[in-house]
Structure 1
Amino acid sequence: MSPSKLRLKRTPAEQAEHDLRKARKIARKAAKHRRQHDEDEYDESDGHSHRKKRRRTSVGLSSNDIDDSDSEYGPQPASSHRAHKPDYDRIQAEIEEQRFRDKLWGALGDDERLDSVEASLNSYAHVPRRWRGGGMERMDDESDVDPRYMEDEEYAEWIRAGMWRKKHAAEHEEQVRKQAEHNARKAKERAIREETKRLERVEEEARRNRRRAREQMRAGEARELPCSPWPIYLAYPAGKNQPPSALRIDDFTTEAISSFLLPHHEEDYNSEASKKGRRERLREAMLRFHPDKFEGRVMARVRSDEREIVREAVGVVARTLNTLMAQGK
């Protein structure tokens, strides 16, 4: 057959006819081989001449002789040609049976492949790259990609990327190194941010603790009227270990405040320098006992049940200072 000649596929009928011819040819060859083998054994046992004599004798026998021999010795065996004649129907049936079994095995193999494909699909959840987020569309990391589940474009890109990495090994190593440095830098920045947040939380907790401690201290150091720094002598104990005297609103007189802030034993009491000094003291006391400033600086430390009387005392002191400042002009 020439190389350019086409070989067409046989139809099922042609294939069956071809198999039948092949089976007949094999059967004929087997029968011929058995006949030759029987003849060789016969020649070795009785000799060629005796075989010819027996053949002539058997050929010369009449039908009566044959019937006698059959009745005496039983039915004679059939000739070798008839004994080894192939049974084409049986051969055809065997061929059909073998074909049927082959088809069954093929169907079983298809079922097994389908089962394996289903198991693979169930065990490997493939997400197409175009549906991935967070920068996963790049093909830098292919450790978790199975090419069996790639689409045509993805597979072609995967092959091209692999060939490029193989041909440009140095550039690929440089990219890998830069990517590793980038990842390390990102990890370091993330660690710094986390540490900063942790320190901020610690500092905020410390501020809350300090604020709570100050509030507790203020609550423990809440002042009463006698404990406030009033500009009168009665507000201060005579000795170190003595408690302050009990004060009343009536104790805040002009004479008591003037004697505390403006003592009369100074020399040159009526001089300009002395007057200027007194005005400075009165102005300083007015800044200290101004109702608004006193409310913001001291009132928070005063006990809640003493705040009204303290406010009244502050008002008395402020009015007295205004009077003294007006007299000194």
Structure 2
Amino acid sequence: MPTGKLHLKRTPAEQAERDFRKAQKAVRKASRKRRHADSSDDEWKHISEGGSNNSSRATHKPSNYTYVFSDDEYGPPPPPPASTSFRTHKQDYDTIYAQLEEERFREKIFEAMEDDERLDGVESRLNSYAHIPRRWRSGGMDKMDDEEGVKPHMMEEEDYAERKHAAEYAEQERKKAERAARRAREKAVRKETSRLERAADDERKRRRRSKERRKVAEIRLWYDTRWKELLAVGKTGEEQLTFPDIPWPVLPSESDDNKSRRVISLGDITAAAISTFLLLDDEESVEDVDVVKRRKDKLRETMLRYHPDKFEGRIMSRVTEIDREKVRDALGIVVRAINELLGERR
């Protein structure tokens, strides 16, 4: 039956002190037994040497004699100390005490680690169920975004429907953003393509104009050179001229590769073609005084070359009979066009 006595758990210091006292008690008890055994051996030896009357006692020990060093009664004997001084025993007790403290400390550490692991597992299981519906929250908790890790089967119908609707809305917004981004990319691609096409078209036009200007410059150079050859001294009467041999102030419809012969027909000689050939210059302004003066001089020079009286005496006599009528028709067109241009410039 329980005695009703309250047993309190000893503190580590109390336990160590108790162990120390028990060790001291065991040592003292063993020392007393050792001294008693030594004295008994001396007495037994003295009795054995006393005579024959005590031979039986010398050969046989008493029946009630017990061994001093009984392992069953006292446990294994302690190791013999290197010195019997109190200081040596004090050092052994300190070592034993330190070992006991180390073992108790390790046991406490392991127990604390096991408790932490057990508590962590319990906390994780409890946290998996710690979901509060949004409509039951208060104090600002309704604004918390902690439902991302909640499983659907743990949610109520309203929360699940709200979350599903939010997910559908987010998906719609994502697709809408993707479509807008795709349209923006396509628009940017079309814009860039249009820009590149315009740039390429402008480059083609620029090259075509440059080519045309070079062509006009070459034709004008041939035109001036040919007139110088026709008007040179000593050339009169030495060369029979046809309609294409005469340098007309128009651009030819086509020419061969070496530009040595201009292909011009009577239909190419018009007032507009003459004005283009003599006055067209893309890079010069018609409002410039020097440009206006230079163009008037150009028209007067052309009129002197194609003046009917002078042209008849210097050129017409050398034209073949078959082309003379055609040359006279072209000459009349040139003279009338130059007169109109001169009248406009006055």
Question: Could you tell me the TM-score, scaled by structure 2's length?
Answer: 0.30
Name the larger-Rg structure.
2
